[in-house]
Chains A and B, each alone.
Chain A
Amino acid sequence: MKKLISIGYILLSLLVVPNALAADIPFNASTVADLKNLYHGKKWLMVLWSVECPPCIKELALLEKLVDQNIDLPVVVINTDGDLSLYADRKDLISQFNLDSIKSYYFTDGQTEASRFLVDASWFGELPRSYFFDEQGQSRGRSGLLSKNVIKQWLTIN
């Protein structure tokens, strides 16, 4: 029975994790490692944003256009607000920009600094913040609004 449960857990992780990642889910200590495993061998982009950051909203609008043209865009968005009172705003914005299909995480209430540190101990929280992950899972961080061309070039899309 124990063996069956262990196999069940393994299969569960295979079956549930990819689906769970596509939803609006809380960020935790293993999120970045999970994502690196998921995208291993691929270039991908992680974008951190806040509902209270005007350039972040511009970036969401930019991602909307790219997602519209590329269904399987390897982009993950992470909301950094960490504030229960902004959860509804976050969800509204994700829907407003038709980003429900991409992997979307959020820092949980009161956990902004701790979660930020898990992403990158040298990042001070300026936004928007992007991490360009290569095929080996190595990343380069960059602060500020990205241009469409920079994203397209990194992800090799049209």
Chain B
Amino acid sequence: MKFYLLIISLGLLSISTLNAAEHNHVKMAKKITNNEATKCIDEAVICAKTVTTTFAPNGDLWRLWSINQYMYYQVSEDNGNSFGKVQRVNIAAENISARNENRPKIAFDQHKGVYLSWAISGKKRFTGDIRFSYSSDNGNVFSQPVTINNDGIVTGHSFNEMIVSPTGDVSIVWLDSRYAYQKRKEGKKTNGSELYLAKGNPRENSLFTNEALARGTCVCCRIAIDHDENANLAIFWRHIFGDNIREFALITLDKSKPELRKVNQISKDHWYLEGCPHQGGGISIDAQNRYHLTWYNQGDKGKGIFYAYSDDAGKSLSTPISVGVNNRQAAHPHVSQHNKIVDIIWTEFDGKVHTLWHQQSTDRGESFMEAKVLSQSTSGSDRPFIVSNGNKSIVSWHRFRSGHWVSEL
């Protein structure tokens, strides 16, 4: 009898140890301090899963994150070396998507306007909306949020990206499932989502339009956008070609060149996957309209991270070069250019340590210097991003429970 009791109590001990271990894991996280000596208290950036960083026109660096259905921001006047007080965006709690490829976006105009766009998840699985709010007074007060997708259908709308012109012309792109929803109602099957664009200007009180740009996109990768030299929007995303071949595609919304509005396949790595890669690409267009592109694939013709450029908006492409080491889990590349310099960053992982890598070209992508390690993390690793204000570039890399790492390139 005693022996059985011993077994039962040992069993209970092992189960409770497991539960306690996990519980302590959470409690421990609240005690960890990062290199900014910030405790992981609820709203602190260290507790966030993702961070979005952007330069304001006056040179201030803003970082934005979401925790427990609210958004918070901080402003740095010294390129991210130090940040001011944590400010909560004065918007009621919403189920804000801020994990992995999804995160809120922030942009600015030249008139102290601050623009926020984010995706929310609905009660029903894989449903949600694209939301937007605007502040005309440098972030003191934000407008009542509006839903950008105009279909009124309870279906998927997610993976938003936003660009704002100096005068407040807002372009928001996202992945939209309204077509798939309608077809499903008709008993028909579809594959993928649609790429949608909304345009509006809150400074002029104009309503947001909605326009479908492409059909058959991958449903779970972030979109990448930039303006070309003539302020035309260029969009780079993962598309589904044929039978679940996941490749990157590009369009440029140039009215004078309608051929650029057609889905233009960029990568030719032949990745067959009836599933979710969870890895979007990067685009950055220079002053001579050269498109610098980076992406990740695991196809039978190309595996890993690639970089290529195009001088004709993707009609032709330089020979893609391999970036990082595929068998070290090189992933999540991002690219940015300024003054003929092209920077590519990505992460690698050896099972314990996440390493942030950087490779630079000083001749517009013709050649690259040797890759260098920028930073490491033994806790989590958010997607890394390069943020440029035209004169300098900084890297923004958030590490869950470890802190937000910012450094000038």
Contacts and interface: CB of A to CB of B under 8 A. Distances in A.
Decide whether A and B assemble into one complex: yes
Interface stretch (A3-11, A34-42, A65-73, A132-140): A3-11
Interface residues of A, number: 39
Given A83-B99, A114-B351, A128-B275, A12 B11 contact: yes
Contacts of B99: 52, 83
A118 interface: yes
B273 A122 contact: no
Contacts of A9: 10
B354 A126 contact: no
Interface stretch (B14-22, B79-87, B313-321): B14-22
B369 interface: no
A145 interface: yes
Contacts of A57: 125-126
A121 B351 contact: yes
A16 B8 CA distance: 9
B231 interface: no
B25 interface: yes
B25 A108 contact: yes
Interface in A103-139: 108-110, 113-114, 117-118, 121-122, 124-129
A9 to B, nearest CB: 7
A54 B277 CA distance: 12
A157 interface: no
Contact of A113 (B15, B49, B276, B381): B381
Nearest to B158: A52
A15 B7 contact: yes
A9 B6 CA distance: 9
Contacts of A50: 276
Contacts of A16: 11, 14-15
A121 B331 CA distance: 13
Interface string B357-391: 00000000000000000000001110000000000
A53 interface: yes
B14 A12 contact: yes
B10 A12 contact: yes
Contacts of B100: 52
Interface in B184-211: none
A20 interface: yes
Contacts of A53: 220, 275-276, 278
B349 interface: yes
B274 interface: yes
Contacts of B279: 124, 126
Contact of A110 (B125, B126, B400): B400
A133 B10 CA distance: 32
Contacts of B273: 126, 143-144
Nearest to A20: B15
Nearest to B100: A52
Contacts of B352: 114
Interface in B329-351: 329, 331, 349-351
A84 interface: yes
A127 B278 contact: yes
B327 A26 contact: no
B6 A144 contact: no
A55 interface: yes
A62 interface: no
Contacts of A51: 125
Contacts of B11: 12, 15-16
Nearest to A126: B277
26 contacts: A4-B6, A12-B10, A16-B11, A26-B18, A52-B99, A53-B275, A55-B275, A109-B22, A109-B26, A110-B29, A110-B380, A117-B329, A121-B329, A122-B327, A124-B298, A125-B331, A126-B277, A126-B278, A126-B298, A127-B275, A127-B276, A129-B275, A143-B273, A144-B244, A144-B274, A145-B274
Interface of A: 4-5, 8-9, 11-12, 15-16, 20, 25-26, 50-57, 83-84, 108-110, 113-114, 117-118, 121-122, 124-129, 143-145
Q: Enumerate the 5 nearest inter-chain pairs by beta-carbon distance, A residue then B residue, closest first.
A: A117-B351, A144-B274, A144-B275, A145-B274, A53-B276
Given A110-B401, A128-B275, 7 more contacts: A4-B6, A53-B278, A109-B25, A125-B331, A126-B278, A127-B276, A143-B275
